Chains A and B, each alone.
Chain A
């Protein structure tokens, strides 16, 4: 693991009208680790990553990428930095096939604006192979005909094929069965092994404990703390999610085993 976190958020706040979705949140992720982001429904997880992705602009706080402050005001900006997000339920267009989805918004074309289909097809096949996504029969079938696990695999492959450095997955296993969840979690592990920084949002602590290196807990729009997987228990994290833990020094990864009783 490198010294400076590749992505670091400091004091992020965001309100929607009278709803304060995020209040003074710190967050970070490093190369080669899976950082889990957990919290109850409405805790602000999706809002936080939308701030990173350029969908929302935070009311206050700063975003550092590779140690330098950056301003991200659109998904394109995030993409240019190497930050890719796989959104909950909104990652793919059902009517398009695998190749079309993989290149959506970044199509390769010639001087007549014509799409370079063979090139995109070939690269899609290569990307899927490099991630060991092997169960898809034809990359020319519409994603509507894929299983939930295959869809998530395609969505993840789409996110990583642009030499991305940070990949953020919002509840990638929420709608999946056991075998398919396993398929996606394996993929998540492989990404971190390849040196990417992975942010995994999940409700399922079992999944989180299986793949995460560290765990950030959000509660009611505030970050409760960062836990190292090796030094914490599910019980402790559950307590942080539901009750919150009063004092924490922001941004410094610590554990508080004494509170886990």
Chain B
């Protein structure tokens, strides 16, 4: 690597879109460190990561969708449905664990395919489609579970909640999986032609199509992969809660996944953003929730804060979009 290349790399790092979100994360952490001694501790960071794990994985799918100028409001309920199917099949229907998990994941993938099919085939706005499937998945979750919580789950379903220890601090395998998924998403978006086509389709669908990209196939792949991440998140959720709870994942996850993506610097107008930014955004959300809990702010105020955060982030996005034309 010559000196000019090094310089270019340095410049690119400084102007990288993830710098803003990263500074926001550091400031948030400094704030809570000053407020309470209990924040800046390895064990607490490990806890934040575990809390971030679910939203973090959902936000990967959400990032893909938002990069194509879409949005997915159904992430939380689709995940909840996948989770209920996985646990009910294993516990109440005596299905072996591997097919039970597969069917749960496939259900989520199926929702992704449905979203992609409606977006490309019927050309409906993603907002309306996923508002519909949000309700469908919500209803199915309660119908299928009969509002029962499933316990006594097979070991494999609980796997991602298991921990390993690094110099006295416990980490779950789920956190490792989340990081691996981020690495894969980064590779796909930044190093492959597919990723480039996602960005092109999100920026200008018609231009991308005229240049010879099969934009329908790109959109279908995006929604399908997003569905896959919700399925994986469902399995992680079981690991985290250790039960199959029909009420889990249905309250904060939708908004949190969108908040993470937007805080991470991805534009709701499509075509601009990074998955690493989303990871940072998810961490900001996690740190906020964790910090507010530690300093004794009640849960209801956390809703207030996330609501304000997401509107702030969207305003910044809108401002930048107008400025760039």
Chain A residues near B (Cβ < 8 Å): 53, 55, 74-76, 79, 85, 87, 90-96, 100, 104-107, 109, 113-115, 140, 144
Contacts and interface: CB of A to CB of B under 8 A. Distances in A.
B212 A105 contact: yes
Contacts of A90: 204, 206-207, 210
A144 B325 CA distance: 9
Interface residues of B, number: 24
The 8 closest A-B CB pairs, nearest first, are: A107-B193, A75-B212, A105-B212, A95-B271, A95-B203, A90-B207, A113-B192, A93-B203
Most buried by A among B8, B209, B212, B271: B212
Contact of A109 (B192, B204, B212): B192
B313 to A, nearest CB: 19
Interface of B: 8, 191-194, 196-197, 199-200, 202-204, 206-213, 271-272, 324-325
A75 B211 contact: yes
B192 A106 contact: no
A87 B207 CA distance: 8
A162 to B, nearest CB: 11
Contacts of A87: 207, 210
Contact of A79 (B8, B200, B209, B212): B212
A55 B200 contact: no
Contact of B207 (A76, A92, A109, A113): A92
A140 B8 contact: yes
B211 A96 contact: no
Contacts of A100: 196
B193 to A, nearest CB: 4
Nearest to A92: B207
Contact of A93 (B8, B191, B193, B271): B271
Nearest to B201: A93
A114 B190 CA distance: 9
B192 A93 contact: no
B305 to A, nearest CB: 31
B207 A93 contact: yes
A87 B212 CA distance: 12
A105 B203 contact: no
Contacts of A53: 210
